[in-house]
Amino acid sequence: MAESYKSREQRVPSGRLSRFSRFGALTTGILGNVAIGGARAYAAGQRPRLNDLLLTPGNATRLTRELANMRGAAMKMGQLLSMEAGDFIAPELSEILAHLRSDAHTMPGRQLKSVLVANWGADFLKQFRKFDVHPIAAASIGQVHRAVTRDGRDLAIKVQYPGVRGSIDSDLRNVASLLRLSGLLPRDLDIAPMLEEARRQLHEEADYQREGRALSDFGRLLENDQAFLVPALHGDLTTTDILAMDYVSGEPIETLKEAPQEVRDHVTTQLLTLLLQELFTFQLMQTDPNFANYRYQEDTGRIVLLDFGATRSFAPQLAQKFHHLLRAGLHKDRAGIRAAAIDIGYFSHSTAEHHQTQLLDMMEMALEPLTCPGTFDFGDSTLPARLREAGMAFGENRDFWEIPPMDTLFLQRKIGGLYLLATRLHARVDMPSLLAPHL
């Protein structure tokens, strides 16, 4: 199946009309396939289920390929759905959409040149000794090129796909309509909160000057921390559509699955330490849990931090509320956990008792690493499976609609992403010791 999603050059549709037409053709194609498949099944005396007709290999490949071709908000929405709604959508669709977290097509050279000329001028190549037109990475809203300037700077240049910023709102409406009309999502699943989160996040991520400021902020905050390396910003080449930074080598963080246990433990401990610093000390957090945002340098032992588009500031009051929640969790104080959860906004005093019980049970599960004496073995724990099972059971009850504050959702996603990474690396972490300086 991997070959179906292999990255290749594909022009990015940059006009709103062309993008709308692509969505329309995709929806029509999927529904047409369903009609043909249903007719064939009935002719053969079968009574197929709608999901069986929708989730054929052909439809699944078509959906993922088209979202990957569209890039921008369309592709980002698929990524978010695979992460945020994985407990509610069909496992087959979740697996298909998961490919979008790591696979993106690249724009052809002519389109790349048009973006560079629009931002740097027609003679931009005079600034470079070398500019590799073949990207070293591609994601939902941009691709990264390596370049060397005339004055010897070795850079990673992130170039935004044309039309992405202007099509964010319409793309999100179109992809939601597509998923609804095609029946690929349950009719009673409210994705409005995810749409609003995706819209806000995408508008922020599409401003590379904003990301450049966040990159510089983290560079200053971690300049004396030997565990991390943040690429330096090159402001003279950075615009709203182009981000220029140091090129920094490193291996994907997931390759550490084969590393010695002490290396996996150390890296995971450092990332969780950074999470606590971001919340309680910096009150500034990179909230995107994508594993591609972390690299590891075997020769230096340092973790390279990339992609600060999803950086968010937290108010001191929020940090204090989570301080209370973690302290209560550390002491297995269920009443304290409930009080902190209400203060944060997970639910209210008027929330039905059975809903409160379900949520508190899940919170106590999530807080288990804090209460484990000594090190907590993420690789040998059933915690992720139990949390997923509890989340699915809770999600089946659609009469609870209290949505926590947006800052809380961002923080929750970051914590969940690091828990998942710790599980993938089979890491062992002494969580109470990490929390002690902050509590």
Annotated catalytic, 288? yes
- CA nearest neighbour of 59 among 185, 176, 184: 184
Please check whether residue 269 is in contact with residue 434, taking contact to mean a CB–CB distance below 8 angstroms. yes
- Cα 121-123-127 angle, rounded to 5 deg: 100
Which residues are CB-neighbours of 79 under 8 A, at least 6 positions away? 97, 100, 101, 140
Judged by phi (left if over 0) then psi (alpha if -120 to 50, else beta), residue 121 lies in left
Which residues are CB-neighbours of 228 under 8 A, at least 6 positions away? 222, 270, 274, 302, 303, 304, 305
Which residues are CB-neighbours of 121 under 8 A, at least 6 positions away? none
Please check whether residue 287 is in contact with residue 414, taking contact to mean a CB–CB distance below 8 angstroms. yes
Amino acid at 357: T
Residue 434 has, within 13 A of its CA and on its CB side, a CA count of 25
* SS3 of residue 295 by DSSP: strand
Bridge-based pairing state of the strands 228-229 and 302-305: parallel
How far apart CA 13 and CA 19 sit, in angstroms, is: 6
The DSSP H or E segment spanning 96 is helix 91-98
How far apart CA 153 and CA 373 sit, in angstroms, is: 49
Residues paired with 287 in a beta bridge: none
- CA nearest neighbour of 27 among 168, 202, 191, 173: 173
Tokens representing residue 153 in the block: 């700077």
Tokens representing residue 110 in the block: 């002519």
How far apart CA 252 and CA 328 sit, in angstroms, is: 36
How far apart CA 175 and CA 172 sit, in angstroms, is: 5
- Cα 142-228-216 angle, rounded to 5 deg: 55
Name the catalytic one among 103, 171, 265, 288: 288
Residues paired with 313 in a beta bridge: 284
Could you give the angle at which helices 383-395 and 406-424 cross, rounded to 10 degrees? Answer: 140
How far apart CA 297 and CA 50 sit, in angstroms, is: 48
Q: Which residues are catalytic?
A: 288
